[in-house]
Amino acid sequence: MSYGQRGIMFTATMLGTNTAEATATMPVSATYNGNGKKPNDITVRRNGLRNLNRLTSAIFFVLCLTFCFSATIEAKMKGRCRDCHSMHASIPFPVLTKGGCVGCHGQAPDGVQNVIKIGKTRVPQILHHMKDGDLASGNFYYVAVGYNPDYTKGHNVTGISYPESIPTMNIPPGFIGNVVIPGGKGPVEWPVEIQLTCSGTWGCHGNRTIYDPYLSVYTAHHTHNGEIDGSTVGKSYRFLYGIKGVEHPDWEYEATVHYHNGYKGDFNHNTLDTISYLCGECHGKFHPNPNLGGAKDVGFANFTTWVRHPADIAFSSVHGGFATSEYLDYSIYSLESPVAYFNPTGRETVVNADSIVMCMSCHRAHASPYPDALRWDYSQITTSDVRREGCLICHTRKGGHE
Amino acid sequence: MKWKIIIVKIILPCALFFLLYLPKGYGTIISDDCGACHGLYPGMMEEASPGEPQKYVLQNLLCVNCHSGAGRDTIKILGGVKVPLVNNTMMPVNLLAGGNFYYVVSGFSDRRGHNVNGITSPDAKFGSTPPGYDSESDSSVIGYNTNKPLACAGSNGCHGNRNVENPFVAIKGAHHADDSPVDGSTTAKSYRYLKNTNKVKGVLGLEDQDWGQNSSLKKHNEYSPSMDNFCASCHGNFYRKDKIGKMSPWFRHPAGIILPKRDEYMYYNPNVPPPADKPDIRMYSPDAPVARDVIPDAPSELVKPGTDIVFCLSCHVAHASPNESMLRWDYDAIVSGEAGGGCLICHTGKGE
């Protein structure tokens, strides 16, 4: 249940008692998520060894890494069986869960907790009413039946929302059938009577080649998943099969510029493991990967003007080059408009030419307070806006001037 | 002459031994001390008038009285006969396979066992309605009467003939009848006298002679999946395929399904590894026993994923246990991702 309890965090706090030059001023925390780079930014690596006995330091460092690595491979959800499962429930749900996906992850829609802790298990809530508590994916509260839903603001998921009544939204916008997805092919077509589900063929999470939503994520919550390499559902970013990334342990609640989700991007468009590709599995026409919309529906980097806003595109590939572009001024990571990285760590603070624009740069995965599940109110973003919010975080020269 | 000696001194005694003892089950009570059981109360031994039923004093309570103990031992000797105790007034040691009603009597919780009349009052939550009761799954023509309490035997009980309402009449004669082989043909020849009605076959199994006391890898009851059908008589909704699902993902925990020969289940009872030359075999766990379609002649220490069967008693005991839901273990203490037994004996992938 608690996605964030995986991808173990080993926080090595090294107080610099003997390494004054290196770390005396502040504790240094290093988080190694297994699929990211090693914590090379730990200052002690650069300076500390000069002042410590080299052998002792080396051993200490190796031990730290060893412990870190061992902790990583031990990562696994911990919690009492009874907290999530009921063996003989009066109202049974698949996999003996207490209410299915939403029963655990939306157990208190009126409640004010975005993460509910039951025993040792922390369960992220995708449907709640906590003020300023929306997690990285947003909050289905904005589209949930019974809470004055506005279906323009998010995905209409079975069990949370009714099907979209607008005919053009009976199928995912930009849908392309039979596209390549991890493990096989996506559905050839999306029947209008099919409503979006949390997982499975008609959902986002789990193995989408498996029709049954629960089978598609079967055992994922109990997988040893220290390394998120996309090889299994359990080892995929947020159980989005095949997708890589680094998971913030609190689902980005109170995330900082220094510590956030690490999104996987790839501007080569020859892999299936980026967060934007996952979106493109249903919204194919919005992704430039040749498996999906490609050049026809999105356009070519460095070659043509875009037909639709691209995703999985690095700033380096913009027309005219990055050095003279407006994107140069987006230099510090923004939680409001995050970017993806080729090898994400979740610790990136710098945005540069290699940073990658992704679907999540503008949208929330589940729902947001704004139309189109955007991270901001598109209707309020104007070229005269001097606050440089929303679109203007990247398109820095489109805004107004103070 | 030599042959006569051999016949008289060796073959004849052996033949007599087999004739006298083996065909009769060990459970058949043979004792010359009738009063040990039948003289518990004044008048019990008296002959009834012609045409009148025997005067079984406190009928249902007689079951309880014989099978209860004042101490902590779970087997007592009565009239020279070993009697399994299902209800101790002190915390029992060496529980029998069915558990002990001590845990529902002694201020613990209704949730720890069956609330049997004569032992404790009806369940505060469920009253006298068995959770998941489904009359279609109950072969008793009388059916379970939810206005009456659970009994040891009879239509509102487990043992004896459930087409008979009176608990004592329902099991009458079973203790003295020929009880072998355990083929389900009569109450006495059914595993632990569990035979719903005359029209259905009784439960099969191999009965440990100490009722599972001090059970181990090599000494334990052997269960048949027919036990599931029996439990379903009163808890049908926890067994019917349309109520639990036909395959994974299950809606309720299944019973009567083969322990899968794949994934985590192949490592059943991970704390006791199998012999190196039998990688496909697992070692039996008395904490999470399996049932078998073919009951072995002797307790088997081996479990075969892909063949052996998960059943109701893999998790529960029949009478009462120290744990809620009559589980064999403390469900609260079983934590995924950590070491432990219980659920994790089968669900090995959920452990450490």
Please report whether residue A85 resides in a domain.
Answer: no
B310 has which bridge partners?
B257
- Non-local (6+) Cβ contacts of B351 within 8 A are B270, B336, B337, B338, B339, B340, B344
A88 and B343 within 8 Å at the Cβ level: the answer is no
pLDDT for the residue B21: 41
Return d(Cα A91, Cα B251) in angstroms, integer: 9
Structure tokens at A82: 């009874």
Q: pLDDT band at residue B59, thresholds of 50, 70 and 90?
A: low
Position A145 in a domain:
no
Cα–Cα distance for residue pair B300/B285, rounded to 1 Å: 11
| Among A313-322, B1-10, B285-294, the least confident range | B1-10
- Percentage with pLDDT > 70 across chain A: 80
* Nearest residue in chain A measured CA to CA from B131: A90
Residue B279's pLDDT band (cuts 50, 70, 90): confident
Q: For B201-211, how does the pLDDT look when each residue is reduced to its tens digit (9 = 90+)?
A: 999 999 999 99
Q: How many domains does chain A have?
A: 1
As beta bridge partners, residue B69 has B88
Residue of A145, A147, A146, A164 lying closest to A156 (CA atoms): A164
Which 8-state DSSP code applies to residue B123? B
List CB contacts (< 8 A) between A80 and chain B: 331-336
Backbone angle region of B79, left / alpha / beta, with phi > 0 → left and psi within -120 to 50 → alpha: left
Q: Which residue of A has its CA nearest to B350?
A: A222
**How remote is the C-alpha of B150 from its chain's centroid?**
16
| Percent of chain B at pLDDT exceeding 90 | 74
Confidence of residue A303 (pLDDT cuts 50, 70, 90): low
The 3-state DSSP class for residue B295 equals: coil
Query: Which of A96, A211, A212 best probes binding to B when mutated, by most B CB atoms within 10 angstroms?
Result: A96
8-state DSSP, B1: -
Query: What is the 3-state composition of chain A as percent helix, strand, coil, each rounded to the nearest 5?
Result: 25, 10, 60
Percentage of chain A lying above the pLDDT 90 cut: 68
Contact yes or no for A47/A22 (Cβ under 8 A): yes
Cα atoms found within 13 Å of the Cα of residue B61, Cβ hemisphere only: 8
The residue segments making up the domain with residue A70 are 3-74
> Is residue A186 predicted with pLDDT exceeding 70?
yes
Determine whether the interchain pair A80/B335 forms a contact, defined as Cβ–Cβ distance below 8 Å.
yes
Q: Look at the block and give the residue holding tokens 């009285």.
A: B65
For residue B296, pLDDT over 80 is answered with yes
Contact A212 B250 (CB under 8 A): no
pLDDT at B341 over 80: yes
Closest Cβ–Cβ partner in A78, A88, A94 for B238: A88
Is the CA virtual torsion A363, A368, A372, A378 positive or negative?
negative
Kindly report the pTM of this predicted structure. 0.81
Residue A46: both structure tokens together: 């650069």
Question: Is the CB of B253 less than 8 angstroms away from the CB of A119?
Answer: no
Between CA B20 and CA B329 the distance in angstroms is 41
Q: Do B250 and A95 touch (CB under 8 A)?
A: yes
How far apart are the CA of B259 and the nearest CA of chain A, in angstroms?
16
By mean pLDDT, which of A297-306, A317-326, B81-90, B278-287 is the weakest?
A: A297-306
Nearest CA in chain B to A217: B249
Task: Indicate whether B304 pLDDT > 50.
Answer: yes
Give the residue among B228, B235, B176, B220 at the shortest CA–CA distance from B204.
B228
According to the model, what pLDDT value does residue A384 have? 85
Out of A83-92, A256-265, B43-52, the most confident range is: A256-265
- For B105-119, what is the mean pLDDT? 90
Tell me the residues of A at the B interface, defined by beta carbons under 8 Å apart.
Answer: 74, 76-82, 87-89, 92-96, 119-120, 212, 214-215, 218-219, 222
HSE on the CB side for A182, CA within 13 Å?
Answer: 28
pLDDT of residue B55: 64
Task: Judge whether A32 lies within some domain.
Answer: yes
Note whether B151 and B171 are within 8 A (CB).
Answer: no
B335–A95: do the CB atoms touch at under 8 Å?
A: no
Q: How many CB pairs under 8 A join A and B?
A: 71
The mean pLDDT of A57-61, rounded to a whole number, is 45
Question: In the predicted model, what is the mean pLDDT of residues A64-75?
Answer: 39
**Cis omega (within 30 of 0) for bond into B181:** yes
Higher pLDDT, B330 or A387: B330
Q: How does pLDDT run across A10-57, given as a tens digit for each residue?
A: 222 222 223 222 222 232 233 333 333 333 333 333 333 333 344 444
The answer to whether A281 and A201 have CB atoms below 8 angstroms apart is no
Token pair in block for residue A144: 């949930």
Residue A317's SS3 state is helix
The pLDDT value recorded for residue A76 is: 63
Task: Give me A217's structure tokens.
Answer: 């994520």
What is the pLDDT, as a whole number, of residue A387? 81
pLDDT tens sequence across B124-138: 999 999 999 999 999
Q: Considering only CB atoms, which chain A residues are within 8 Å of B335?
A: 78-81, 119-120
Report, as an integer, the average pLDDT of B178-195.
Answer: 96
- Considering CB atoms only, which of B249, B334, B349 is closest to A80? B334
Q: Is B240 on the interface with A (CB under 8 A)?
A: no
Q: What is the pLDDT of residue A309?
A: 93
pLDDT in tens, A212-250: 999 999 999 999 878 999 999 999 999 999 999 999 999
CA distance A360 to A312: 10
Task: Check if the beta carbon of residue B272 is closer than 8 Å to that of residue B176.
Answer: no
Query: Mean pLDDT, to the nearest integer, of B173-197?
Result: 95
Residue in A6, A81, A86, A225 to test binding to B, most B beta-carbons within 10 Å: A81
- The whole-number pLDDT of residue A28 equals 29
Residue B241 at interface with chain A, using a CB cutoff of 8 Å: no
Tell me which chain B residues have a C-beta less than 8 angstroms from the C-beta of A218: 248-249
Residue B39 has what pLDDT?
79
pLDDT digits (tens, 9 = 90+) for A112-165: 999 999 888 899 999 999 999 999 999 999 999 999 999 999 999 999 999 887
> What is d(CA B195, CA A49) in angstroms, rounded to the nearest whole number?
78
Domain ranges of chain B: 222-350
Distance from CA of A117 to the nearest CA of B (A): 14
Both tokens of B239, joined, read: 């067994």
Q: Which residue has the higher pLDDT, A323 or A17?
A: A323
Instruction: Tell me the average pLDDT across B215-235.
Output: 97
What confidence category does residue A256 fall into, taking pLDDT thresholds of 50, 70 and 90?
very high
Spell out which residues of chain B touch residue A79, defining contact as CB-CB under 8 Å: 335-337
Burial class (CB in 10 A: 0-12, 13-18, 19+), A292: buried
Closest approach of A176 to chain B, Cα-based (Å): 29
pLDDT tier for residue B45 given thresholds of 50, 70 and 90: confident
